[in-house]
Structure 1
Amino acid sequence: MTYHRAYGTFGQMAPFGQRQKNAKRRVSKSGQENMAAISLSRIVSHWTAIQPDRVALDHLGDRRTWAELEARTNRLARAYAALGVKADDFVTIALPNGCEFIEACLAAWKLGATPQPISARLPKFERDQIIELGKPALVVGVEADEYAPTPCLQQGFEPDASLPDSQLPERTAASFKAMTSGGSTGRPKLIVSKLPAAWDPDAPYLEIVNQGTMLIPGPLYHNGPFLWAMIALFKGCTIVITTRFDAEQVLERIDTMGVDIVYLVPTMMRRIWALPEAVRTKYDVSSLRAVWHLAAPCPAWLKEAFIEWLGAEVIWELYGGTEGQGSTTIQGTDWLEHRGSVGRPVETCEMKIVGEAGETLPPGEVGEVYMRPLAGPGTTYTYLGAEAKIIDGGWESLGDLGWMDADGFLYLSDRLSDMILSGGANIYPAEVEAALDAFPGVRSSAVIGLPDEDLGARLHAIVDFPAGAPDEPGLLAHLAERLVRYKIPRSFEWVSEPLRDDAGKVRRKALREARLGQPETAT
């Protein structure tokens, strides 16, 4: 059975909710219907005319009004143009979170170029591969001449003050972003959006209200934080940025800035909830209208805690990939009726569950989750450095296992590649990690399979327990209450650093490879 649902989509950027009746519409070459949109080379000037003195960006007190942002990015775009940046070129941006990151993206769009963000802390070896693959016209945030003859600008670059800050000619890039793959363990690939660099600021989307206030505590080079920040900017919001995630700082920013929408991942939610109650409740968070979480599975107990704290109508979840073939969304109110679901497919895609023989499975049966855009395969993205894996009919998979209920709500079991075969049983790490994470004092965990002569693979748990080693008998009793015996790890390792990054990602394969041949503490 295949389902599609009347919601807006994450990757393809259809408006979230009811389309505006009076807005102009056009049909693209791919057959997708689009609203009338403003080129991103004009989006800042659009909002500057409406609210010139309102704060557009706030990075821990470093602020830009809309008028300042317009003038600064016009001058910066002219500096980029003088270095050779042209329409549809890539501009690689290796800057940390801050106003400078946003300004670099806007300057690229003002020239009709495409921002290609990467981590400012990326190892040079991996960064070199991305530069070689993308062949950008400019690299921002690295040492001068590091990629000569490609021009390079260091962090903190300021254009010549004599450059004009007046508006530039309108140009619209064919692709508004080119992101690196977040889960690749081989050579990196670029995921180049097929959406042009234009946006309708009046189109409802992701519960973001025009001229609201968005908080982004995650790394802007990741697709999720990038999209939420930029879409909110396109809708005239104040974008509140933090350098890195800090649980109490997030609450303080919500309180003092009157934040109405925030982007989180479950790791962040867990750290917020781990704050002493006196700390968590001393901040006023009543301004929040929407809290989005995505990028990783959210334990049911944690989601319930946030629903009880903030209200079911405030909590939203999205499942989807950077490629944008499709996505699901769910509000907390629906989640309470479909506990554990990540929602129903959005209006511009369809999904189905596929068995090992390639058959479409009925509701209730676990298989691989496949999706496709209604506009057809290849309409949302293209790869540089990889080939898309598309099966008959244009269906694609993000590598997740799951099932659908009779109402079309999707439930994820685990990542297909993370499945552990132990003693003839299929074990999904996410289920074991959810049980571990519910034990008091555990901040995060990762479960991997290590070679075992008898079982083929044994479960090994790496547990982030900042206080040292927990009460192991108590932990085992806790797990025994939640898991069948064969799902309880055979060995444990205690660490004191987070196992998921600020984007909520855990690299189980890298953790496994690092531990092969190393002794662990068995229980």
Structure 2
Amino acid sequence: MNLVHSLIETAKSHGDRTAFIYEEKETTYQQFLDAVIKFASGLHKVGVKQGDHVALLVGNSPEFIIGLHGALRAGATVIPINPIYTPDEITYIIKNGDVKTVIALDTLLPVMEQVMNHVPALEQIIVCAAAPGGAAVKNNKIKTFTEVLMSGDPELPLPIIHKDQTAVILYTSGTTGKPKGAMLTHYNLYSNARDLLSFLEISKNDHIIAVLPMFHVFCLTVAINVPIICGATILIVPKFIPSEVFRISRNYKATVFAGVPTMYNFLLHYPEADPSDLQSLRLCVSGGASMPLTLLENFEKKYNVQISEGYGLSEASPVTCFNPLDRPRKPGSVGTSIINVENKVVNELGEAIPAGEVGELIVRGPNVMKGYYKMPEETASAIQDGWLHTGDLAKMDDDGYFYIVDRKKDLVIVGGYNVYPREVEEVLYSHSSVVEAAVIGVPDEDYGEALKAYVVRKDPSLTEEELTAFCRGHLAKYKVPSGIEFLDELPKNTTGKILKRALRQTLLSKDIQQT
């Protein structure tokens, strides 16, 4: 079984059920499959062959889902890209990823024409929504999504899709250099969706809010592939706007919400929030970053719905752990290993360590990537003896629940003592006037490193001295931030994850200017 076959099987058994709702319009699974087959054959007609790489720069919309599954049905490998990336970032991925065809928003056409001038191997651009105007119409390398879709022939033979064929290449955020393309097979993605479906007890009766960016693997698996396998309904939200999430949840009786901690924080503090708007939710899932305990507890109390935290990474399709529904949930934990996936905490020699000790989390299972595209050395470093080394520091308790302590690269050593920024952030979040917080390590002449906190405050009268004193009451002296800077907002990526590297870069720029 693979992603292509799962959609075919769902259309056979649940063809009349609603596959997705977008801007009040409902599309059934049979209509969805028909569109996918037509688009796949349309891609073949314009020259897309099995094994070709197709980039997808489209926001949350039916075009994304149809474009994704249409390209997969055509035998192509899909490379989802964040539509708001800069031209340089887009050019790098398209060039490095050997992309021949791009499916993009019409608003990106000027950018894509620039990219085409720098990447001769890029053969054509398929634009979504409005037809391109002016000179673009005369360019035979530019077509519209509708043209390709309508030109499709449902009777045209399409290639056989193998489970070990690369389905998607996901480029990581590149926190330690240029982005790396994680190659995920059809079976990687299908198995993770299938196992998560079982673990979270998702069924055809669920209505799942898809507001996370569809180009991100969290949304791709939890809010697209999982519902497609079982025939559930996807509620497509183009952009995260709290009022829109409340409206869609209320109008369509949403049962599952998937988000990152920042989204939950905005929903919690939304001034016009009505808890009854989320009363149909039976499950909230969180990933992408660790959720502060204070945020989790306050959200659950206000909206009367449990949040199940999990853990994953692009290289694992992405989910490896989730808090189980049939056993007690442990706040602060990312849960236990999901079905068919093994998680283990090891020391620097790769040896398993006792429960309660901190080490690196490594993962093994059918969800682990083939490797990084055109990067054999990085692949060999990441996957050793079948185990994916995540780079995250974790510990496991006696019941098999895992706790993410921090990223290995985020560990701060103050005067010889290990300090995990997340522990400090938890204390900051527990202050009633703190909305968001991020802690990083900074150079220190006396101790080697020190801690600096960046905080968004609810009460503008809160001072650095007051918050530092609060930290002293809850932390050992060496864990207390040496400096606290208040910001109007913290830098985030499009999934809402706080970008600590942006804070480091800002700090570095200030240091350079001062020297």
Report if TM-score (shorter chain) is over 0.5.
Answer: yes
Alignment of 1:17-28 (within 5 A): none
Q: Deviations along 1:423-463, whole A, 9 cap, x unmatched? A: 22221111112222233343322211222222222211122
**Helix, strand or coil at the partner of 1:176:** strand
2:148 maps to 1:153: no
Deviation at 1:240, TM superposition (A): 1.0
**Helix, strand or coil at the partner of 2:167:** coil
Aligned to 1:421: 413
2:90 maps to 1:90: no
Aligned to 1:26: none
Among 354, 359, 376, which residue is 1:362 paired with? Answer: 354
Alignment of 1:260-279 (within 5 A): 260-276=255-271, 279=273
Is this contact kept in 1: 2:491–2:502, CA < 8 A? no
**Helix, strand or coil at the partner of 2:316:** coil
Q: Whole-Å Cα distance in 1 between the matches of residues 284 and 486 of structure 2?
A: 32
For structure 2, the 5+ residue unaligned runs are: 130-143
Q: Whole-Å Cα distance in 1 between the matches of residues 59 and 146 of structure 2?
A: 19
Q: Note the aligned Cα RMSD (angstroms).
A: 3.1
Aligned to 1:252: 247
Deviation at 1:168, TM superposition (A): 4.6
Q: Whole-Å Cα distance in 1 between the matches of residues 363 and 34 of structure 2?
A: 43
Among 404, 417, 425, which residue is 1:412 paired with? Answer: 404
Is this contact kept in 2: 1:85–1:113, CA < 8 A? yes
Among 143, 151, 154, which residue is 1:163 paired with? Answer: 151
**How many aligned positions are there?**
476
Pick which of 399-408 and 437-446 moved more: 437-446
Aligned to 2:138: none
Deviation at 1:367, TM superposition (A): 1.8
Deviation at 1:61, TM superposition (A): 2.9
1:335–1:297 Cα change, 3 Å: farther
Task: Specify which structure has the higher proportion of helix.
Answer: 2
Aligned to 2:141: none
Q: Whole-Å Cα distance in 1 between the matches of residues 80 and 124 of structure 2?
A: 16
1:309–1:176 Cα change, 3 Å: farther
2:72 maps to 1:109: yes
Q: Whole-Å Cα distance in 2 between the matches of residues 517 and 116 of structure 1?
A: 33
Q: Whole-Å Cα distance in 2 between the matches of residues 465 and 379 of structure 1?
A: 40
Aligned to 1:243: 238
Deviation at 1:417, TM superposition (A): 0.5
**Helix, strand or coil at the partner of 1:107:** helix
2:181 maps to 1:186: no
Alignment of 1:435-514 (within 5 A): 435-465=427-457, 468=460, 470-514=462-506
Q: Deviations along 1:113-149, whole A, 9 cap, x unmatched? A: 2221110011111111111121123111142654254
Is this contact kept in 2: 1:335–1:341, CA < 8 A? no
Deviation at 1:47, TM superposition (A): 4.3
Among 157, 161, 170, which residue is 1:172 paired with? Answer: 161
Q: Whole-Å Cα distance in 2 between the matches of residues 103 and 280 of structure 1?
A: 34
Q: Whole-Å Cα distance in 2 between the matches of residues 46 and 197 of structure 1?
A: 18
Deviation at 1:236, TM superposition (A): 1.8
Deviation at 1:242, TM superposition (A): 1.5
Deviation at 1:342, TM superposition (A): 1.6
Is this contact kept in 2: 1:444–1:500, CA < 8 A? no
Q: Whole-Å Cα distance in 2 between the matches of residues 185 and 443 of structure 1?
A: 28
2:285 maps to 1:292: yes
Is this contact kept in 1: 2:254–2:280, CA < 8 A? yes
Deviation at 1:94, TM superposition (A): 0.8
Pick which of 263-272 and 349-358 moved more: 349-358
2:205 maps to 1:214: no
1:519–1:380 Cα change, 3 Å: closer
Q: Whole-Å Cα distance in 2 between the matches of residues 403 and 196 of structure 1?
A: 29
Q: Whole-Å Cα distance in 2 between the matches of residues 463 and 379 of structure 1?
A: 36
Q: Deviations along 1:201-238, whole A, 9 cap, x unmatched? A: 99853322125311011111111011112221232222
1:288–1:131 Cα change, 3 Å: same
Amino acid at match of 2:63: E
TM-score by length of 2: 0.83
Deviation at 1:356, TM superposition (A): 4.1
Q: Whole-Å Cα distance in 2 between the matches of residues 218 and 468 of structure 1?
A: 31
Aligned to 1:353: 345
Amino acid at match of 1:444: E
TM-score by length of 1: 0.82
Q: Whole-Å Cα distance in 2 between the matches of residues 517 and 44 of structure 1?
A: 49
Q: Whole-Å Cα distance in 1 between the matches of residues 289 and 451 of structure 2?
A: 21
1:365–1:202 Cα change, 3 Å: closer
For structure 1, the 5+ residue unaligned runs are: 1-36
2:360 maps to 1:397: no
Deviation at 1:62, TM superposition (A): 5.0
Q: Whole-Å Cα distance in 2 between the matches of residues 395 and 197 of structure 1?
A: 15
1:517–1:72 Cα change, 3 Å: closer
Q: What percentage of residue pairs aligned between the two structures are identical?
A: 28
Q: Whole-Å Cα distance in 1 between the matches of residues 217 and 4 of structure 2?
A: 20
1:483–1:53 Cα change, 3 Å: same
Q: Deviations along 1:365-393, whole A, 9 cap, x unmatched? A: 222222323x7xx9643211432225764
2:274 maps to 1:280: yes
Among 326, 332, 341, which residue is 1:340 paired with? Answer: 332
**Helix, strand or coil at the partner of 1:518:** helix
1:46–1:364 Cα change, 3 Å: closer
Q: Whole-Å Cα distance in 2 between the matches of residues 364 and 290 of structure 1?
A: 29
Deviation at 1:178, TM superposition (A): 1.8
**Helix, strand or coil at the partner of 1:510:** helix
